[in-house]
């Protein structure tokens, strides 16, 4: 009986992949990029046993205002995080370095389960001078108790067209653009980098998060797929663009409360705010899930 080769689309062309111990095994005979496109991890998984649970009420991670993430509107940068949630209504910021009030200057990634969509803001004075882009997703596409990876990339063009969002390694389509007029600085010293909140005042995320990363470059689609690693979190310090990794907070059992260690070369550690004494739980990607 003839063996059917797996087919993927590479550079817009359908291609048959070489036969080896490919699906679902190790991918013999394939390049790393072909393996990732075919859904085969290329890097070893992080040794995860526990990740951090957020209550959606008032707990968050305060990383302060490191010099390495003072991105302005003409700088290219990217940021991503693994998360798991069942939330149906509460809006939550996954990663944010943006004021909660006033000008709301800075940048953020927010998940809105009731719409449902992701919202990316890169602003100087809210949407009066800034970028705001919505990326719609399907009902229960992410609030299904399973682990997902989301990554935002920005090309430094000061335009909404320069913002991309990838969910589980796939680029999503922009929908509603409510701001596309960024002409002034987005640097805001008063806004701390936050995981699971907008500046520690609102948009508290309800669910689990792990392996938050920030990069001082616009990751390509291939580099995002490499980071997603076919659904298996890996060590970003071994990523092909690791020289541009400016922050990596694992938020897992390797951390000791109240400190969340920055595992990049910059060592900008975060502080856990309003967490219980034992905030880590036995729920982690790729196979973990929340109880429905």
CB atoms within 10 A of CB 113: 21
- Percent of the residues in the chain that have a pLDDT greater than 70, as a whole number: 89
Residue 291, pLDDT score: 60
Q: pLDDT per residue over 239-277, tens digit each?
A: 999 999 999 999 999 999 999 999 999 999 999 999 999
Check whether residue 118 and residue 31 sit in a common domain. no
| CA–CA gap between residue 190 and residue 109 (Å, rounded) | 18
Q: pLDDT per residue over 183-231, tens digit each?
A: 999 999 999 999 999 999 999 999 999 999 999 999 999 999 999 999 9
Check whether residue 69 and residue 165 sit in a common domain. yes
Helix (H) or strand (E) holding 125: strand 117-125
Q: What is the mean pLDDT of residues 67-84?
A: 97
Structural domain harbouring 175: 51-281
Residue 79 resides in a domain: yes
Residue 46 resides in a domain: no
Residue 287 resides in a domain: no
Check whether residue 101 and residue 14 sit in a common domain. no
Residue 291 resides in a domain: no
Torsion, Cα 227 230 235 239, to 10 degrees, reads -40
CA distances to 11, 179, 196, 208, 285 from 83, rounded to whole Å, are 30, 26, 10, 5, 9
Q: pLDDT per residue over 42-56, tens digit each?
A: 877 788 899 999 999
Mean pLDDT of the chain: 89
| DSSP characters over 103-114 | T--EEEEEEETT
Q: What is the value of pTM for the model shown?
A: 0.88
Residue 42, pLDDT score: 82
> What is residue 236's three-state secondary structure?
helix
Check whether residue 102 and residue 213 sit in a common domain. yes
8 has a pLDDT exceeding 50? no
Burial of 25 (0-12, 13-18, 19+ CB in 10 A): exposed
Residue 155 or 1, more confident: 155
| CA–CA gap between residue 211 and residue 166 (Å, rounded) | 16
Residue with tokens 């108790």: 145
């Amino acid at each position: 009986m003839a063996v059917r080769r797996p087919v993927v689309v590479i550079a817009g062309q359908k291609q048959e992949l070489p036969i080896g111990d490919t699906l679902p095994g190790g991918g013999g005979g394939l390049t790393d990029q072909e393996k990732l496109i075919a859904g085969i991890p290329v890097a070893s998984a992080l040794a995860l046993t526990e990740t951090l649970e957020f209550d959606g009420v008032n707990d968050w991670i305060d990383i302060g205002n490191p010099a390495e993430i003072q991105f302005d509107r003409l700088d290219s940068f990217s940021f991503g995080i693994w998360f798991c949630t069942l939330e149906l209504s509460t809006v939550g910021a996954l990663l944010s370095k943006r004021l909660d009030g006033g000008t709301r200057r800075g940048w953020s990634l927010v998940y809105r389960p009731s719409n449902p969509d992701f919202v990316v803001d890169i602003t100087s004075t809210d949407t009066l001078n800034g970028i705001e882009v919505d990326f719609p997703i399907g009902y229960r596409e992410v609030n299904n108790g399973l682990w997902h990876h989301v990554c935002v990339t920005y090309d430094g063009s000061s335009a909404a067209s320069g913002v991309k969002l990838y969910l589980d390694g796939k680029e999503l389509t922009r929908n509603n653009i409510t701001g596309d007029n960024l002409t002034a600085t987005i640097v805001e010293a008063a806004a701390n980098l936050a995981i699971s909140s907008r500046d520690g005042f609102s948009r508290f995320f309800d669910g689990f998060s792990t392996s938050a990363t920030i990069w001082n470059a616009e990751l390509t689609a291939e580099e995002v797929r490499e980071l997603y690693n076919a659904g298996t979190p890996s060590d970003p310090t071994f990523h092909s663009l690791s020289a541009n990794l400016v922050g990596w907070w694992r938020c897992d059992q390797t951390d000791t409360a109240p400190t969340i260690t920055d595992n990049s070369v910059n060592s900008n550690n975060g502080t856990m705010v309003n967490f219980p004494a034992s905030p880590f739980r036995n729920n982690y990607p790729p196979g973990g899930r929340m109880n429905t």
